[in-house]
Structures are given as C-alpha cells and as structure tokens.
Amino acid sequence: MPEVIQISTNNQTYNINIGNLYGLNALSNSYSKILIVTNPHICALHINKILSCLDSKNIFICTIKDGEQYKNLSSIEYILENAFIHKLDRKSLIIAFGGGVISDMSGFAASIYQRGIDFISIPTTLLSQVDASVGGKTGVNNSFGKNLIGTFYQPKAVYIDTDFLDTLPKREFSAGISEIIKIAVCFDRDFFDWLENVNLVDSKKDLQYAICRSVALKADIVSKDEKENSIRAGLNYGHTFGHIIELLGNYSLYLHGESVGMGMCKANNLAVLLGMLECKDSIRISNLLKKYHIPTEYKISDLDDFYHRLFLDKKSQNSNLRFVIPNGIGDMKIITNPPKELLFEAMSR
C-alpha cells in the first residue's frame, strides 16, 4: 500500500499516493472516457505499465513533444483537439503521464475543456513528483515569460511511483533534487541537515523519504494557501531569478531545476547582503547543490535587461519587486523592493 498524503483546498480534498499505482484503476473506472496525455519518450518506456492496470475500454492516448519550448498554447490546442476528436464529455478524465511540462499542460487543458473536467497526475520525473504535480498550478509559457498563462486547478489524485525514476537521465534527476533542497531551505532546517548527511542517488529508501517529506511540506503549504496570497509564495524561492534564466536560455539551455538552483544562489546573495543569511549558510546551500552537480553560478550578461524582466514576474505587484529569500536555513521571508544597488550587486555575483 502506498503512503498517502492529503491536500485540502477550499474546493476539494484529494490524495497524493506515494509508492505505487494502487487505487488508480478503481478511481479511473468511474469515468466515461480517459485521455492519457504523455510524451513519446515516456509513452515508449512506460505506457504498458499504465494500460495494464486500467480496466477501462475507452482509453485514448495523446502524445505531445517534450520540453519547456513546447509548453505553449499551441500544445494546449492540440490536447483539446484530441479531446474533441475522441468526444470526451464532462464525465471524462484526463491523465497526465510525464514530467512537469506534461502535468502543467494537462491540468490546464482539463481546466478549460468544456469549462473543466477531472484530471489525475502520474508524474514520472523527480522534479514533478516533488513539485509540479502537487498543488494545482497549471499553465504554459509565452514570449513574456514562464507560466504566465494558466489556472489554479487541483487534480482528483496524484500517484507517485519511484520506479519511473529508474529510467530518468542523471541530469534530470539532479534537477529534481534542486526542488527538494529548495523546500528544505525554506521550511525545514532538520530536513536540510538530514539531506547533508545522505546521498539520494545511492539509497532508494532515503530518496523515498525525501519525496514524502517534500510532498508533505508542500501539501501543508498548499492546504493553507492554495492561491498564493501568503505563505505559498515561499515556494517561489529561486524562481524569480530562475524563471528569467530559463527564458534567456530559451527554455532549452537549462532544465527548470537547474535554473532554480542558480536562482536560489542569486536569492542567497541578496539574503546575505541584507543580513538575513549568514555567509556560511549560503555556502552550505551551494555545497548541497554542488553535491548533485546542480549549477550554482550564472553570469548575467545584461544586468539592466535582467532587472526590467523582473517586473513581469507574477509575484511583482503594483510595479513592486518581490523576492523570496532565506531567513536563515529552514525559514524564508518575502521582501519588497530591496535597494536597487544591493539587487544589482546580488545579480552580478
């Protein structure tokens, strides 16, 4: 039996099942039709595992190209077109089967198809298992930035099976660890200390614990603040800078988790300059990232351009700049409009 973590938002309560796919078939059987959205790579490797545990006779598969550069409205239209062609109705289900790009887009498509049908997420990358599949943020990128178009839409259930990680490329595995470190730095000092003393590549038991702990921390935050009016913004640590790094790399140079890793280091610079994080703690965070070969340094070639892009971030309000920075390890703070010189200094380090 999988470990179960419950998320309760204003509208809905659902389970994140960690360990295997137990329960997926029973839940799926209540739907008229099922559209599985996946990418060609995951489909080739793992679709049989999903199909073999589903009894439904009305299953359709839609594959979309993998990668952040395809996370756009055209792909959403493609998913919707598939749903229309197979005549999905309001009692039908979409299953997201893949990484964060797949789960964000499938959730978005489900939220706007006939004004919203149910979806279930089966994340196959470490990043999406600890982050993207949990919390109900859906969306796509556009030329103005990342995830700027989307909805808040919770899945009916999430199934996390660590067996899918066996085929995950090393680099993507590391990018997922970056999000685990992010959550630990912001919310749980003990978890961070523990992470310093284990190696998630070597021990599947430790990995499973790290996933459970990350998901539990995130579930608690999302339950308290689904729409990111307060504490949930803490999860964006590293993302304000990271999103721009990703955009400037055209969503293909760096993985999301890598960009977030570099973004965290920029946020740490700011925290150190503001006296909220000790230099030695900033180094501890960098070292933990480096242990998994996550890049920690990024040279901003045009500081002014980078600065102006910060204002387009979803967290900026009334033309105010907002950053999530660590307040020591295990706590975080949202700061508004830091002195421009300090910000430039933090960006240029």
**Per-residue contact track with a copy of itself, 237 to 276, x per CB under 8 A?**
----------------------------------------
CA atoms within 13 A on the CB side of 92: 24
Sole window of 142-150, 200-208, 258-266, 332-340 interacting with a copy of itself (rule: CB under 8 A): 142-150
Nearer to a copy of itself, 285 or 310 (CB): 310
Give the catalytic positions in this structure: 115, 137, 179, 218, 228, 232, 236, 239, 243, 256
Distance CA 67, CA 59 (A): 25
Q: Which residues, 66 to 125, sit near a copy of itself by CB under 8 A? A: 73, 77, 80, 84, 87, 89-91, 108, 111-116
Span interacting with a copy of itself, options 38-46, 122-130, 146-154, 258-266, rule CB under 8 A = 146-154
CB 100 within 8 A of CB 66: no
Shortest distance, position 103 Cβ to a copy of itself, whole Å: 15
- If binding means CB under 8 A, how many residues of this protein chain bind a copy of itself? 37
Q: Using an 8 Å Cβ cutoff, are 158 and 107 in contact?
A: no
SS3 318: coil
Contact predicate 7/222, CB 8 Å: yes
For a copy of itself, the binding residue among 8, 20, 56, 151 (CB under 8 A) is: 151
Strands annotated E in 252-346: 322-326, 332-336
- Give the nearer residue to a copy of itself in terms of CB position, either 22 or 70: 70
Q: Which residues make beta-bridge pairs with 121?
A: 96, 158
The smaller minimum CB distance to a copy of itself, of residues 108 and 191, is found at: 108
Q: How far is the CB of 244 from a copy of itself (least distance, A)?
A: 15
Q: Is 311 in the site for a copy of itself (CB under 8 A)?
A: yes
> Minimum distance between the CB of residue 330 and a copy of itself, rounded to whole angstroms?
28
Question: Rounded to 5 degrees, what are φ and ψ at 35?
Answer: -110, 115
Between residues 65 and 87, which has the closer beta carbon with respect to a copy of itself?
87
Task: Report which secondary-structure segment, H or E, holds 120.
Answer: strand 118-123
Nearer to a copy of itself, 65 or 227 (CB): 227
Whether the Cβ atoms of residue 138 and residue 107 lie closer than 8 Å to each other: yes
- 9 makes contact with a copy of itself (CB under 8 A): no
Minimal distance, residue 331 CB to a copy of itself, in Å: 24
Closest CA to 116 of 73, 152, 146, 78: 152
| Residue (of 22, 12, 40, 2) closest to 226 by Cα position | 12
d(CA 272, CA 313): 22
Q: What count of other Cβ atoms lies within 10 Å of the Cβ of residue 320?
A: 10
Judged by CB, which is closer to a copy of itself: 63, or 111? 111
Q: Quote the least distance from Cβ 34 to a copy of itself, whole Å.
A: 13
For residue 251, give every residue at least 6 positions away whose Cβ sits within 8 Å of its Cβ, in sequence order, or none: 67, 68, 69, 71, 141, 146
Give residue for tokens 């077109």: 81
Phi, psi values for residue 340, rounded to 5°: -60, -35
By CB under 8 A, residue 232 contacts a copy of itself: no
Q: What are the tokens at 126?
A: 């470490």
Q: Which is nearer to a copy of itself, 89 or 345 (CB)?
A: 89
Q: How far is CA 169 from the centre of its chain?
A: 17
Please state the closest distance from residue 45 (CB atom) to a copy of itself, in A: 31
Q: How far is the CB of 193 from a copy of itself (least distance, A)?
A: 34
152 binds a copy of itself (CB under 8 A): yes
Q: For residue 137, state whether it binds a copy of itself (rule: CB under 8 A).
A: yes
Q: Tell me which residues touch a copy of itself (CB under 8 A).
A: 10-11, 32, 73, 77, 80, 84, 87, 89-91, 108, 111-116, 137-139, 142, 144, 147-152, 227, 311-312, 314, 316-319
